[in-house]
Structure 1
């Protein structure tokens, strides 16, 4: 008897309605099912989980860099109030408030492979109840809608807060709450979002100041462009501030500038806008890098900085 082909066996062994091993995983990761949620070791991390979400760069910044910030989200279905928050009390994944509003926490590490799917699952769970309280995940969410499938925002209106006072801005304050807030606020480094460009955040860490700027461009093209600007002496925002390196977060590159203490955010607005224009020109350049630019590129690649 002739042997069945691998393709025939695979089709016969796949139950009706099931996902075949070589089909795209329904979670939207872009991987085959056998290499993602169909893998015995569990799903692989999604390289760029927030791609396609309005304000992707700001979402990454709020998840990784910004202590206290919020942004309203608009649902694809329903009119429930949803508020995206950097951090919630007790690091809760989500909270349903007394009003029925949903607060969704970004700075939660579920480690299930796809933060956007984790957030989507938490939001769906919160939408399924009106009872006030904390909502979270205790098991992997499995394939399903991701955050970008559930919201219809075309932009993200970010509000950066001085501290965590937003935790109690919908309830009456009391002395115990104030004490807890004071303790939380002490750990929050002063942070501001620049207004002239997107997803650039100034922060004061005490001994120095930084500008950390989440950028949406493909990594190789962006590093080439930054190398061109460095070789041309155009990568400084202010005379005493310098581009010290970059790091990666959720598939995006985040260049970092060191700034002298006392710089502040306001003085960076015009230089940042000018840098953004110069960067676009550098990104559009098509020629090979010069020897000086290649040297600058190698230096950038070797200067990886920590997130915090």
Structure 2
């Protein structure tokens, strides 16, 4: 897939279900079909449904083209999925509201497509650890108008980690929300930084420096600037994000940044990951933990007692 194609050129090229189905088949099985049950390569093609089924000649298991991908269970045409993937691979991304207009779908359908694609991006980011020279710094998304020592519901503490070379150039980043158990008011506890390192830094890393104090003299300013850049992107492209889904948007930012540093074709990479990532269903998506009400209650209770 050519990363230099315009959206119009891409849409004109993938303008039919047949072309999209052939492309998805080649992405999912680049070396030819392989049965997920017995790994046999010979199959029958069943055309009785909207999308083809592939029946293994050995064990007779039938496999859908979209089974085991983020598209599984979707009734949205493949050509619209392809357009959505193209738009998400662009640096600026796209909001669900804008996507619904471009695709001509309902907002709910576009919203679910967006989150399924971000789910694949998050899986891609999880599979890669920070290596080499690693620097970690605290950050924040969403600043209250009247800062206090208590955390405002619109203030989300973050940790950003980066792989850096000897010239302090950043090649890979991870930005993560901090859970309530690792926060003391608006400050990140040492255990929070320890968990970040355990989960996102390669165990072989020897050169690592972590700063969790907001006003430390040893702050890593390039990381602070990247946090601000991510915040500006979230506010400009999506008009701000709440705590419940913030992490998936942060993963999308890191996904795009890291691929740009690697000079990797983001469109091709995203298609490959979406073809190998199991779908995120709607109940799992809406059941994500939303702590904003808890923060709001604690924040205003603290103001009441302080007065």
Q: What TM-score comes out, normalization by structure 1 length?
A: 0.25
Query: Relative contact order (alpha carbons < 8 A, sep ≥ 6): 1 or 2 greater?
Result: 2
- Structure that is richer in helix per residue: 2
Q: What TM-score comes out, normalization by structure 2 length?
A: 0.25
